[in-house]
Every structure is written in C-alpha cells, then in structure tokens.
Amino acid sequence: MTQNTENPIALSFDGAVATMTLQNGAMNALDDAALEAIIGACDAIEARPQTVALRIRSERRVFSAGADLSLVNERMKSDEGVAAMVETVRRFHRAYDRLVALPCATIAEIGGHALGGGLELALACDFRVAAHQAKLGLPEAKVGLLPGAGGTQRLTTLCGAGIAARVILAGDLLDGKEAERVGLAQWSVDAADLPARVDALTAQIGGLSPDAVRESKKCINVANAMSAQGAQAEIEGLAKLLRTDEARRRVASFLTK
C-alpha cells in the first residue's frame, strides 16, 4: 500500500482500490487548497490504470460541510473578493468535473453530514452510500446563495426536478434512509456498518472486468453529461448573489449563531 498523508486530502492505494480521505479541519471545509488537492489526487489515480474503484471518505464526524462560509463572508466585502470567490466556484467545477471524468468507479462513503459543496462532491461520484444517521442537503438558499458546484444540475438529473426543488428551494435535509428512498443515495446502512458495506461494494466492483467498467462508465457519462449552459448558469447566478446585501446579511448572521 502506498500513502500520501499531506493535508487536506490523504490518498492511499491498496491493489485496485484507491481511497481519498477528507481531513481538512473539523468540518472538512472545501477551500482552494482542498479543491486543488482533489484535482491532484485524480491525476494520481488516473496514472494508475490498475485502479478500478475510488472510495471517498472522511476522518471527521461530518463528510463535508462544503465551502468555508467564513471565507465566503470575507470575500463578499469587496469586488475583488467576489471575483476571487467566483474563481473558487470555477475551481469547484474543475475539481468535480475531473472526478466525474475518472475512468474508475467512484464511491462517496457518507458517514456524517454532507452539505452544500460536500454533497455536490458526493453527487460527482458514481455511487453514494449513506449512513442512516447522516444528513444530506443543499442549504445555500438559507444564506442567500445557491448550490454553485453542480448541485442544481446533478441533483436534478439524478432525482428529478421535484426532489431538487425539495432539497434546494425548500432547504430540506434528508437522512440516509430518505436519501436512498428518493434515489439520492443508492444504499443506506447503519453508521456502524458503513465501512463494511463500502468494502463489499469495492470488492464487488473489483470482481468485474476493469475494461468493461471503464467503457461502461464512459457510456453512462455521455448520457448523463452536465451541460455547459447549466454550469455557466450556476456560476453566473452565484456571482450575482454574492454581490447582494441580502446574501451578505444572511451569511454574516449565520456565522454569528
């Protein structure tokens, strides 16, 4: 087994399985450094053609709470900061598109809350296995923003406009069981059983033809491709919201609680 333990992402390989472990602070915030680390990890994984499956997991109580809201709050105070935040949003898209494009099967092991950009990371994976106790959601509208890292597009494609409206427009948080029921997660198990369930899934995938997995994923990605127009609409919409007094007030209010 080989391992890289540099923060904020640890990447290890064990035979045909790669494991990407999120370890960026208590909430696994996804900042510029974390996003660049994800891109770098994807490069390393793709350089190993023997890798058939990638599991993404967390060392923390949460899977990931998404973007660092204190960073968002600080950047919203100036035009230069907003421009920097928009570039970070583009980096989210590059990182998650890179993950989608990996030739191996990808699995999000969601043992704790996956919110905002954290859920969008999971949505960029082929499989989502969630603990019953986990909470999954895209609560950006509560702070005057929108899910800008593919959430509006990938969730709608995966679960339909009705579920996307429930999660994004109504701000519902779904536990693992409900996420499985609506198709957001393929499986939900008790938290204590989650690692073993993902072990079994990686073993199941590992028993398939690697070439067949790669070619089949390529075909699925063609059918499921997110449009450039949809991605651009997210980026432009979020850029507009970052400049509003309403969003500034809501973000600042959230951080004081």
Q: Please identify every residue annotated as catalytic.
A: 120, 140
DSSP annotation string for 211-232: HHHHHHHHHHHHHTPPPHHHHH
Report the C-alpha gap between 12 and 53 in whole angstroms: 12
Measured distance CA(39)–CA(226) in Å, rounded: 19
- 128 backbone dihedrals φ, ψ, rounded to 5°: -130, 120
| Cis bond upstream, residue 8 (ω within 30) | yes
Pairing assessment for the beta strands 2-4 and 9-14 based on DSSP bridges: antiparallel
- Compute and round to an integer the Cα radius of gyration of the chain: 17
Q: Please tell me whether residue 116 adopts helix, strand or coil conformation.
A: coil
